[in-house]
Chain A
Amino acid sequence: MFFSLIKKQFKVFLRNPSELLLLLVMPIGLIIILSFALGSLWGGSNGETMEIEIAVIQHEDELKQFQNFIVEAKQTIPMTEPLLESMKSMLPVSILLDQVLNNGETQEFVKVTKLEKSDLEDARNGGNYNAIIEIPEGFTNDYLTSVFLNKNAPTFQVYLNESEQMTSVVIQNILDYYQYQYSLFTELAKNQLLTEEMTIPTLDITSNIKTVASKDPITSSTYYTFSMSVMFILFLAGTIASHAYLEKDSHIFDRIILAQVNPVTYLASIVVSTVILTLLQIGILFLVSYLIFKVPFTNLHLYLLITFMLSLVIGGVSALLSSLNYRTNSAEASNIFSNAFVAILALLGGSFFNISGISPVLAEIGLWVPNGAALEGYLKLVQDGSFSSIQSIITNLGIQAFILILVAFLLFPKRGGIA
């Protein structure tokens, strides 16, 4: 009898082309469109690692300036061997070129080209570089003077190619951190804290950049495969709950109750059929993305685990919406959910874009909505692939599923009838 309830749900669902269109064709279409349309924002071209080309134009040799500075500074500062070593290791242009733009992490995605002064105009007009850094004459000398002789700090010029938004943001992050270190030395010197005994630390780039560099890249097609899939399964919950209400409205539910089927069994059949349909829907969407975009699914069992937990939550949502529909004797709960609430959940869960850039608080809330938690889990699997990285998400989804199913069963009416 329970199997009959599930079988009936499948038949009714599969014979409804408009619903299949919404739940399968639309997300596939959107994944394809968004992957290609927004691919450039995810690192130049779809499926490729981000590549940043930076041109550096240095107007004067740094070592020559350093030697000039020592000659000048000897008259006011006693030059010991350790201090000279320290000064040598904090030369700003060398730090920028060797430690910031060409270290082990950044060299994977940053390509630095040194240009002559005369090439500046051509480089600016050509648009071949994501950024051009112009270091003026006497920059190193001025810098050392500002640190050790309390003069004004010099500046260098950066030309960013802002048509490529993502790369501009990354370059700015790198330079911001460089500038922070640069300002730190100046402040230490001004406050007499930069002594000859002090060892100048090697510059490290920001942790954000490290993340980008050390983990597998997420392409737009990967992101939208997951974000659209977790969004469109929300519609499934609304659709199943609407079907359930139609069964009440047309008195089919009364017939089921008169056949001695416990209302709890009926509601359980809604949960189980939603879980199975969710697994099928996501399975189809993932398979299509795998075939078209080669979205990687290494550690498939972990993807299945997240998908199963998410399916339980969606089962809970559809059961809760069905209970509310039955209680209010209308399909309003499922209609409001499908027409308005899904959009809010999609936004919070990052289905359209990563919301953490707008508000960290909203991003935190997004982790507690089913689609947001599942999306986070899938993305973590793409980058890390270990169970430990998704453990908290599995727990989170489990809690959501438990609460939703419990409330749904408590709310569901225990009789049929027209009232």
Chain B
Amino acid sequence: MLEVVNLSKVYKKVKAVDQVNFYIEPGEIVGLLGPNGAGKSTTIAMISTLIPPTEGDVLLRNENVIKEPTKLRKILGVVPQEIALYGDLTARENLEFFGSVHKMSKKLLKERIEIVLKQIGLENEHKKLVKHYSGGMKRRLNIGVALLHEPQYLIMDEPTVGIDPQSRNHILETVKQLNQESNTAIIYTSHYMEEVEYLCNRIYIMDKGRIIASGAKEEIKSILSSEKMVVVKFNRHSNVFIQELMDLPLLSNINVKESEINFTVAKDTNLLPTLMTLCEKHKIVLNSFQVEEPTLEDVFLHLTGRALRN
């Protein structure tokens, strides 16, 4: 098991990570969900022994790896958020280079390159210079490099940022397959809650350097068990109308997106009559009224008062 105990990082006077506790068992996929600037990247840089924490420990099978990182580094693969590749080399040359710095034997490296190229779907494109790749292909190779030495633990930092849906799906499938076939434990950080929902068994939600919620997917969603999500659509709305809606004591976490407004209300509330009266007063037509299951996004909104992607 890889475990993080009371991990903190302070830059000058800013606390980037504050008393984070975290664990991952072999074969698990754990999500680290949080908006940009939540401290996810700093946390994983400390877990991967690249930067020392100000406080706290990182334990691999109860052994501290901060001072002696060799054991962890041998079995760890890291996919950074940035494209950590040489654009002037081909995919194969990149894999050859990173494999050789891992001191892999030539024979093993050759075998692993073929396997990894297949895994990431670049077996027919390996001769192209990486700088000529699409964003999605670069992201896939970025993952492939981390898989070369068959790590037992894989940390993926926002691996799908800025790519097309097709490449994104390919990456998500690759991650799932990798976990199922090789039993690789994966720490998956993202601010896309649907990715984390799809992939992860357990989730940690981070905000402003702290873990604000953690547990299995359903456990986290149960934070909103006493509430329901409502999405309403109007033919139009005005600032005065929105203000009056916000002033209603029954509503919380109101989010306005053009003609659509979503909010949470207590599960047993009958809101419809109040809403109709308000619409009549402002001569606004209610086009739809929909009650939805809470998502992780709603949980985050509930916990922080902010949307995940803000």
Contact = CB atoms under 8 A, between A and B. Distances in A.
Interface residues of B, number: 34
A247 to B, nearest CB: 9
B103 A251 contact: no
Contacts of B55: none
A12 B86 contact: yes
Contact of B83 (A5, A8, A250, A416): A250
Interface stretch (B21-29, B40-48, B228-236): B40-48
Contacts of B102: 259-260
A419 B102 CA distance: 24
Contacts of B97: 4, 7-8
B74 A260 contact: yes
A62 to B, nearest CB: 78
Interface string A1-26: 10011011001100110000000000
A258 B73 contact: yes
A254 B74 contact: no
A252 interface: yes
Nearest to A14: B88
Contacts of A419: 11, 42, 45, 51
Nearest to B44: A418
A417 B50 contact: yes
A257 B78 CA distance: 11
A261 B48 CA distance: 15
Given A254-B50, A415-B52, A259 B86 contact: no
Interface in B58-106: 70, 73-74, 76, 78, 80, 82-86, 88-89, 93, 96-98, 100-103
B53 to A, nearest CB: 11
Given A11-B93, A16-B88, A257 B50 contact: yes
Contacts of B96: 4
A260 B45 contact: no
Contacts of B85: 250, 252
A173 B296 CA distance: 90
B145 interface: yes
Given A8-B86, A260-B70, A418 B45 contact: yes
Contacts of A258: 48-50, 73, 76, 78
B88 A255 contact: no
B84 A251 contact: yes
Given A1-B103, A251-B80, A11 B88 contact: yes
Given A252-B85, A254-B78, A255-B84, A417 B101 contact: no
Contact of B82 (A8, A251, A257, A261): A251
Interface core residue of B41, B50, B100 (most chain A CB under 10 Å):
B50
A250 B138 CA distance: 13
A260 B73 contact: yes
Contacts of A254: 45, 48, 50, 78, 80, 84
Interface in A219-277: 249-252, 254-261
Contact of A260 (B48, B51, B103): B103
Given A11-B88, A250-B83, A418-B42, A255 B78 contact: yes
Contacts of B146: 255
A416 B50 contact: yes
A415 B51 CA distance: 7
A329 to B, nearest CB: 12
A243 to B, nearest CB: 10
B86 A252 contact: yes
A1 B102 CA distance: 8
A143 B86 CA distance: 81
Nearest to B86: A12
Interface core residue of B41, B85, B98 (most chain A CB under 10 Å):
B98
Contacts of B49: 258
A4 B86 CA distance: 13
A419 B51 CA distance: 7
A255 B79 CA distance: 9
B3 to A, nearest CB: 19
Contacts of A1: 100-101, 103
A251 B44 CA distance: 13
Interface string B9-23: 001000000000000
Interface in B131-151: 145-146, 149
Contacts of A415: 50-52
Nearest 3 A-B pairs (CB), nearest first? A417-B51, A417-B50, A4-B100
18 contacts: A1-B100, A1-B101, A1-B103, A4-B96, A4-B97, A4-B101, A250-B82, A251-B80, A252-B86, A254-B48, A255-B146, A257-B50, A260-B73, A261-B101, A415-B51, A418-B45, A419-B11, A419-B51
Interface of B: 11, 41-42, 45, 48-52, 70, 73-74, 76, 78, 80, 82-86, 88-89, 93, 96-98, 100-103, 129, 145-146, 149
Given A8-B89, A255-B145, 13 more contacts: A4-B96, A4-B100, A11-B86, A11-B89, A12-B86, A251-B82, A251-B84, A252-B85, A258-B49, A258-B76, A258-B78, A259-B102, A259-B149
